[in-house]
């Protein structure tokens, strides 16, 4: 098993798309996420559509509500190196 090829990234996901995907996987509406986070629904919509930057502080708030690490939201396309 020493010879392997890492899978190639097939889809680019933006920060806003990562928020939307996680929200939808948890079957939350933007309004419900707004209630959980205290972030206005209009701001959530703007983040998901790439009109407003997520930012680290908002990422922390979303991460708590969406039960994930903030890095999942801030760096959706980040690939980690495998340990040798």
Domains present along the chain, CATH in parentheses: 15-74 (1.10.260.40)
pLDDT digits 0-9 by tens, 4-49: 777 666 668 899 999 999 999 999 999 999 999 999 999 999 999 9
Q: Which pTM does this prediction carry? A: 0.78
pLDDT band for position 66 (cuts 50, 70, 90):
very high
Angle in degrees, CA 25, 70, 52, rounded to 5: 80
Average pLDDT over residues 58-69: 96
Q: How far is CA 77 from CA 27, 35, 41, in A?
A: 23, 28, 25
Q: How far is CA 24 from CA 3, 33, 54, in A?
A: 37, 10, 17
| pLDDT given for residue 44 in this prediction | 97
Distance CA 49, CA 63 (A): 18
Q: Closest Cα to residue 72, out of 60, 83, 82? A: 60
Helices and strands counted in the chain (H then E): 5, 0
| pLDDT given for residue 21 in this prediction | 94
| pLDDT given for residue 4 in this prediction | 74
């Amino acid at each position: 098993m020493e010879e392997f090829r890492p899978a190639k990234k097939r889809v680019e996901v933006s920060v806003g798309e990562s928020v939307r995907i996680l929200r939808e996987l948890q079957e939350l509406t933007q309004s419900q996420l707004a209630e959980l986070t205290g972030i206005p629904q209009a701001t959530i919509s703007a983040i998901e559509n790439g009109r407003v930057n997520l930012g680290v502080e908002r990422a922390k708030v979303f991460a708590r509500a969406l039960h994930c690490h903030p890095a999942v939201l801030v760096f959706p396309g980040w690939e980690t190196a495998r340990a040798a």
